[in-house]
Structure 1
């Protein structure tokens, strides 16, 4: 670049703005005689030459992929230039203001206007998702309202680095706190549902005039992970809360959201939504998990959550004979002996174990008609198997499970092998710490419509392993405390088996 001219054709006139990923210039395309916007991408200081070159190549490849997106709701990318060891992106020049600036100047939007903005943005996102592209930074500052009436999503894919799926990479945060979906904060790359969550947070600002979560960056992160979805004022409140459900599977699909937004934009009432957003607890069918627990939290988030007061209770039953780590794979069905299963299920003929495995880890169940015991040795999504976990990653896994289950008040519960073949609504009791199992443990119960406990769950950590244990019964004979104690006995028996196997 020389004399303020890029690639011999783009004259840089004046800066339009700057952010964490670079500076945007007003420029003139001398060849086509038109004004354009040029984004100068900045790279972290101190990068080695090869690392810098690789980053530039990645940015160019991703910009080329973004250039293939053609939609009126996505800012058009005209050209990619590499000069001065950095990439420059030449984009269409938009005239107007961002959604964030509009709300700051004029206050909250009418519901009809906000609904139209949301529908336009979601249609643009859906078109991108169909081509395998995710935005990952949907926020009011990246939604542009043009003078001609277009709603345009900007910075699409610009900040995306190939392979950058966790919260931090080279010291950068992917997204803006308060607008990052919970699953991305937990360290997973997320999917289209994560962009939908961010759009919900953006629409909250549009109709409320303030973000859903305020405070410092750490406070916004913590609130996203720990607080229930807020309900924005006005007719869009229930829909926005549904879009911001913590669990991706609890969020409505994009088609349903667009349809609902279009109805509100047309002045019609919001379609009826489900009464509550609850997570489904699948049954014990072979190959299916009892719970899909998203627990791959980053080290940075673990520190934030620890500061928020997570309670770790040291185990009391096993003394100091805790191994450094369990590294040899084992048959999890051996963690409860047949005699122990018989005592737990009150039967002289204990059932044969039913082994299984899913994305959460290897598991085993012992069901009989009307009751059952199950356990699972769990792993995070970044680890091949539980035996490859470290004590540090296991602690993070345990903390996130405790936080995850603490957020819900109800679940849909099934266990076909014991006789619950159709989904039943169950109420969760509050999470409570448990002493005497592993190095740290917590538990909770499920209650049926009569208020009686029918299932009890115990999660504990021992060294580098996190184990979940459950006991369920359909009988009215056991008291609530009987159910709790049976699950606790199963957890302690499995823990002792692990200690003896070390």
Structure 2
């Protein structure tokens, strides 16, 4: 690194730490702050024209900008970036340790419990990135770093892309590493958080099995990914079904981040949870090949602190008289807060998200990328346009199948759904399940909402349920009337809809066995509340949270699959 400019005189190179196809990493000293750092020098391939060089430089700067926005223990910290001599130099925190690839090659596969613990930390880092609209797009063992201090860190956001940013490269080329690229991205889709979770599943698979989930040369791995051929795990124990659920072929069949966090925590604790059954295949799923098998379970799955936060959909509602109408169950659940007062808050509008062109970059040779692009073009016709609104009434009683209701409620004979305002409820004795679309005081029906008003409504609810409080609520159909309950503060739920939160209700004597969990999520211009409630001695509070979250996840998947 030559001297003579501000950036280059601040960072003094000490020695090379490693190099690869995309650049060299140096140990350096930050002379201004008197600390050691890692400096990544991007190597530009020979034979590039000026436009291609500028494109590569812009992408490296974008990497630094994207990663620098994140502050999470499981994400490498970026301190600085500069362009010098036509090449980008990225200054990062210095990590001392080894990659997951090196650990497995030197020590062999890790125990399932240990891998699940590490996976949960990586998932938290990805969730932090996804919350900011950032996809990693190249999660693989070589980009997972186990530090000497015990941290596990996701590195190299070099091909990350901020959602909504303009495409920096031409379409038709592939981003990522074969065997770790989600099938929908090979199929021409730009992917999303679920694509990173597929790659995380492939990474954890390697860590616990010692071999890739998809083996062979590059083209064989690409073909196997497209066909959904996953090598069955042999050493993974209780982690195996979780990995296969993460590697499901269709994104809607994979656990969301909240459910996955709970599953990994369970395996790390030595338990053997079973992932939920996948939702019914979407109409165009057969064009994408078979789904990887997943486990089943009567209770579904769900995290222990990520559930939603809606209010009870029935009776007086935990928050007073609210603006949501009287409906079949009383005065409405949302009280007299900022929404009940007739306002929707001052949130900025959030436009609906549409499909964007596929981004492509390193990790595969350009010639190979072009070949794969041609194969994808020949084998897979363009997908149908993504839905941008729900402007027609939806039959919420059809969002859950009878088998899904049976699994969520853990009963042998599931009840039929009954219309509940614009939503639906399923009642079995002293337990109830509900999916309800919400609307603000200025909109008579949820089908008249826009993404902007839906986001404003969600923001108001998020603010309203920010603190724990005591409330009154009723759900007459399950035998609960005018019960005083303690409502927890809402907690965020990553990976569900565009945004989501959850909260719980518990009641003191003589209703100490009455427990409720509510998940609220926004999908485009719909705000939906999923609730599960019971005043039986069973299920446990964790079961109730899991069931509400599973109902929300199933409902979201069904809404996404509507024609």
Please give the alpha-carbon distance, in whole angstroms, between the structure 1 residues aligned to 2:49 and 2:70: 32
Question: What is aligned with 2:284?
Answer: 291
Please give the alpha-carbon distance, in whole angstroms, between the structure 2 residues aligned to 1:40 and 1:394: 32
Q: Deviations over 1:98-128 (max 9, x none)?
A: 1111111111111111001100000000000
**What's the TM-score once normalised by structure 2's chain length?**
0.49
1:30-69 maps to which residues of 2 (within 5 A)? 30-69=31-70
RMSD, aligned α-carbons: 3.5
Question: What is aligned with 2:89?
Answer: 88
**Residues 229 and 245 of structure 1 are in contact (CA less than 8 Å); yes or no, is this contact kept in structure 2?**
no
Please give the alpha-carbon distance, in whole angstroms, between the structure 2 residues aligned to 1:221 and 1:252: 23
Question: What is aligned with 1:372?
Answer: none
**Residues 139 and 180 of structure 2 are in contact (CA less than 8 Å); yes or no, is this contact kept in structure 1?**
yes
1:189-338 maps to which residues of 2 (within 5 A)? 189-232=190-233, 233=235, 234-267=237-270, 269-275=271-277, 277=278, 279-281=280-282, 290-291=283-284
**What's the TM-score once normalised by structure 1's chain length?**
0.55
Closer, same or farther in 2 for the Cα pair 1:150/1:4, shift >3 Å? Answer: farther
Please give the alpha-carbon distance, in whole angstroms, between the structure 1 residues aligned to 2:244 and 2:169: 25
Please give the alpha-carbon distance, in whole angstroms, between the structure 2 residues aligned to 1:50 and 1:8: 29
Q: Deviations over 1:236-255 (max 9, x none)?
A: 00000000001001000011
Please give the alpha-carbon distance, in whole angstroms, between the structure 2 residues aligned to 1:242 and 1:178: 16
Q: Deviations over 1:80-102 (max 9, x none)?
A: 01111011000000011111111
Please give the alpha-carbon distance, in whole angstroms, between the structure 2 residues aligned to 1:178 and 1:396: 16
Write 1 or 2 for the structure with the bigger share of strand: 1
**Residues 242 and 274 of structure 2 are in contact (CA less than 8 Å); yes or no, is this contact kept in structure 1?**
no
Closer, same or farther in 2 for the Cα pair 1:4/1:109, shift >3 Å? Answer: farther
Q: Deviations over 1:40-73 (max 9, x none)?
A: 1123333333543354234324422321111011
Is 2:167 the counterpart of 1:163?
yes
**Residues 139 and 198 of structure 1 are in contact (CA less than 8 Å); yes or no, is this contact kept in structure 2?**
yes
Task: Look at both structures and tell me which one has the larger radius of gyration over its CA atoms.
Answer: 1
Structure 2 alignment gaps of length 5 or more? 289-354, 359-372, 383-393, 404-563
Closer, same or farther in 2 for the Cα pair 1:181/1:97, shift >3 Å? Answer: same
* CA apart distance, 1:145: 0.6
Question: What is aligned with 1:399?
Answer: 379
Question: What is aligned with 1:2?
Answer: 2
Q: Deviations over 1:165-214 (max 9, x none)?
A: 88854xxx421111111011122210000000000001111111111111
Closer, same or farther in 2 for the Cα pair 1:395/1:293, shift >3 Å? Answer: farther
* CA apart distance, 1:157: 3.9
**Residues 166 and 184 of structure 1 are in contact (CA less than 8 Å); yes or no, is this contact kept in structure 2?**
no
Please give the alpha-carbon distance, in whole angstroms, between the structure 2 residues aligned to 1:176 and 1:202: 11
**SS of residue matched to 2:122:** helix
Closer, same or farther in 2 for the Cα pair 1:109/1:211, shift >3 Å? Answer: same
* CA apart distance, 1:153: 0.4
Question: What is aligned with 2:477?
Answer: none
Question: What is aligned with 1:175?
Answer: 176
**SS of residue matched to 1:93:** coil
Q: Deviations over 1:235-286 (max 9, x none)?
A: 100000000001001000011111111121122x1322235x46524xxxxx
Please give the alpha-carbon distance, in whole angstroms, between the structure 2 residues aligned to 1:421 and 1:149: 44
**Residues 18 and 24 of structure 1 are in contact (CA less than 8 Å); yes or no, is this contact kept in structure 2?**
yes
* CA apart distance, 1:293: 6.9
Please give the alpha-carbon distance, in whole angstroms, between the structure 2 residues aligned to 1:395 and 1:141: 27
**Residues 165 and 188 of structure 1 are in contact (CA less than 8 Å); yes or no, is this contact kept in structure 2?**
no
Q: Aligned residue pairs: how many?
A: 306
Please give the alpha-carbon distance, in whole angstroms, between the structure 2 residues aligned to 1:133 and 1:85: 26
**Residues 39 and 89 of structure 2 are in contact (CA less than 8 Å); yes or no, is this contact kept in structure 1?**
yes
Please give the alpha-carbon distance, in whole angstroms, between the structure 1 residues aligned to 2:199 and 2:65: 24
Please give the alpha-carbon distance, in whole angstroms, between the structure 2 residues aligned to 1:142 and 1:19: 12
Question: What is aligned with 1:371?
Answer: none
**Residues 238 and 273 of structure 2 are in contact (CA less than 8 Å); yes or no, is this contact kept in structure 1?**
no
Please give the alpha-carbon distance, in whole angstroms, between the structure 1 residues aligned to 2:171 and 2:204: 23
**SS of residue matched to 1:39:** strand
Q: Deviations over 1:372-414 (max 9, x none)?
A: xxxxxxxx9979xxxxxxxxx9996673379xxxxxxxxxxxx
Please give the alpha-carbon distance, in whole angstroms, between the structure 2 residues aligned to 1:197 and 1:31: 41
Closer, same or farther in 2 for the Cα pair 1:159/1:254, shift >3 Å? Answer: closer
Please give the alpha-carbon distance, in whole angstroms, between the structure 2 residues aligned to 1:108 and 1:19: 24
Is 2:142 the counterpart of 1:141?
yes
Shifted more, 257-266 versus 76-85: the winner is: 257-266
Please give the alpha-carbon distance, in whole angstroms, between the structure 2 residues aligned to 1:196 and 1:262: 16
Greater RCO, 1 or 2 (C-alpha within 8 Å, sep 6+) = 2
Is 2:76 the counterpart of 1:78?
no
Closer, same or farther in 2 for the Cα pair 1:147/1:47, shift >3 Å? Answer: same
Please give the alpha-carbon distance, in whole angstroms, between the structure 2 residues aligned to 1:144 and 1:129: 20
Closer, same or farther in 2 for the Cα pair 1:219/1:395, shift >3 Å? Answer: closer
**SS of residue matched to 1:280:** coil
**Residues 231 and 238 of structure 1 are in contact (CA less than 8 Å); yes or no, is this contact kept in structure 2?**
no
Please give the alpha-carbon distance, in whole angstroms, between the structure 2 residues aligned to 1:167 and 1:20: 22
Please give the alpha-carbon distance, in whole angstroms, between the structure 2 residues aligned to 1:167 and 1:214: 27
